């Protein structure tokens, strides 16, 4: 009665088995390799508290303002917060990334914010002023220089981290 049933030959059986098992093994080897290959694409622009801000090529000797967003998580909220920095290249090529928050009472300063003081950061609230290096100018309200952002450069992109306050001048 089994005469009519199609028989699987030994050769066929081995072929099927080997293809199946081999296929699994190949997939097991390839999957991590594919993941490695596309990893840079999947990587977020934010790691270790650093965010990609701007291509280094775009920087000039004039401070420019750049904004970026970070995810801020505190006890009650998770929110997107916009950070800003005034960034420029010094003569010797090092990059300065200054926080725009006035050290007096926390307003937002701007480069050349007042026509009377070109080449200075100016705070619109109480007339606080800072040099191009972000150092507060004596006899204006701010008690300390503008904070400096932690920075690192990777593959031509500037990453900025936390703003580190500096001691008063």
Partner 1 sequence: MQMNRKDLEQFIEAKEYVDTLLIPLSPVSINGDEQGKKVVFQGELLQIFCNEIEKYYTGRIFLFPPYYYLVNGSYQNEVERLNKWVGAAKEHPFEHVFFLTFDHFWKKQEKNIDGHLLWFPTMTSGDLHSKENQSLIKEQIEQIKQLITSYW
**Residues forming the site for partner 1 (CB under 8 A):** 102, 104-108, 123-126, 141
Q: In angstroms, give the least distance from the CB of 141 to partner 1.
A: 8
Nearer to partner 1, 141 or 161 (CB): 141
Nearer to partner 1, 56 or 107 (CB): 107
Dist. CA 93–CA 159, nearest whole Å? 16
Instruction: Identify which of 165, 150, 156, 155 has the alpha carbon closest to the alpha carbon of residue 51.
Output: 150
Based on its alpha-carbon atoms, the radius of gyration of the chain, rounded to whole angstroms, reads 29
Q: In angstroms, give the least distance from the CB of 27 to partner 1.
A: 41
Question: Both tokens of residue 48?
Answer: 């270790």
Going through 41-130 in order, the beta strands assigned E by DSSP cover 46-47, 50-55, 64-73, 78-89, 95-98, 110-111, 121-122, 129-130
Q: In angstroms, give the least distance from the CB of 32 to partner 1.
A: 37
Dist. CA 56–CA 153, nearest whole Å? 8
- Beginning with the edge strand found earlier in the chain, give each strand of the sheet holding 129-130 in spatial order: 110-111, 121-122, 129-130
Dist. CA 106–CA 56, nearest whole Å? 28
Q: In angstroms, give the least distance from the CB of 31 to partner 1.
A: 37
Nearer to partner 1, 136 or 159 (CB): 136
Q: In angstroms, give the least distance from the CB of 127 to partner 1.
A: 10
Instruction: Identify which of 64, 61, 110, 117 has the alpha carbon closest to the alpha carbon of residue 87.
Output: 64
Nearer to partner 1, 59 or 129 (CB): 129
């Amino acid at each position: 009665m089994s005469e009519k049933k199609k028989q699987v030959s030994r050769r066929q059986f081995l072929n099927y088995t080997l293809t199946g098992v081999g296929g699994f093994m190949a997939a097991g080897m390839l999957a991590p390799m594919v993941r490695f290959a596309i990893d840079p694409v999947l990587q977020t622009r934010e790691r270790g508290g650093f965010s990609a801000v701007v291509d280094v090529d775009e920087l000039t000797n004039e401070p420019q303002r750049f904004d970026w967003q970070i995810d801020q998580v505190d006890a009650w909220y998770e929110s997107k917060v916009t950070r800003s920095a005034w960034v420029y290249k010094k003569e010797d090529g090092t990059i300065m990334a200054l926080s725009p928050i006035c050290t007096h009472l926390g307003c937002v300063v701007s480069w050349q914010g007042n026509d009377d003081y070109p080449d200075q950061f100016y705070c619109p609230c109480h007339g606080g002023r800072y040099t191009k290096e972000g150092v507060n100018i004596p006899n204006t309200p701010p008690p300390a220089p503008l904070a400096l952002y932690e920075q690192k450069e990777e593959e031509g992109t500037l990453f900025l981290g936390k703003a580190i306050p500096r001691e008063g001048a």
